[in-house]
Structure 1
């Protein structure tokens, strides 16, 4: 049994549907519930839920930023050239324009965050299984 399975019940925000629109940029299953999608403000807010072991590819936000507000479970965030950061509920990550990074669930835990995003993402290579499975809390 995986840790933090209550995350999939949508404790704070609904889990949303399977994230098929971005499935090519994730390893494993994720879910997305758009909470704010107003073109007049040019900032999207989504509740992203990751099954255990799921993570997104390396990516960069151009002409914008991303804020991650962790609401449940355990996961990881890493910027290129820096050690991965272990994340739990209440953690906040600020990702500035042009920073190459990835984020996702721990191997044995569900993980959920709000993603507040502006700009255009550039999706890059997957996080390798080898580097992901070497992460230690």
Structure 2
């Protein structure tokens, strides 16, 4: 588990997790989007789960800081990498909300 803090407008690159990921927002307002899906606003207390292999990104809203707990499990011995990273989220993708 990691505590991750984002400045306004900061976000991850597109990525996926072998066993999925759960985010628990503790402060601020954030955004999360699965590939091909709508951008979802996250608020303190919200929990968002992305299933195994689902490409997604997450970060702070344009005008807010955001902190979340990021929780995941590894794929186990010999199961390959825990996460795979893709392209950076473009400003255009980020603004489509």
Same fold (TM over 0.5): yes
Match of 1:46 in 2: 2
CA distance in 2, matches of 1:100, 1:68: 14
Match of 1:131 in 2: 93
CA distance in 2, matches of 1:75, 1:124: 20
Match of 2:16 in 1: 60
- C-alpha RMSD of the superposition: 0.9
**1:50-106: per-residue Cα shift (whole Å, max 9, x none)?**
0111000000112x1211001010110100111010111011001111100000000
Offset of 1:117 from its aligned partner?
1.4
Number of aligned residues: 90
Match of 1:33 in 2: none
CA distance in 2, matches of 1:118, 1:78: 20
CA distance in 2, matches of 1:95, 1:72: 20
Match of 1:101 in 2: 56
* Consecutive aligned runs of 4 or more in structure 1 exceeding 4 Å deviation: none
Which structure is larger by alpha-carbon Rg, 1 or 2? Answer: 1
- Structure 1: 5+ residue runs without aligned partners? 1-44
Offset of 1:130 from its aligned partner?
1.3
**1:13-70: per-residue Cα shift (whole Å, max 9, x none)?**
xxxxxxxxxxxxxxxxxxxxxxxxxxxxxxxx110000111000000112x1211001
Higher relative contact order (CA 8 A, sep 6+): 2
Match of 2:73 in 1: 118
- Between Structure 1 and Structure 2, which shows a larger proportion of helix residues? 1
- Structure 2: 5+ residue runs without aligned partners? 75-81
CA distance in 2, matches of 1:95, 1:130: 22
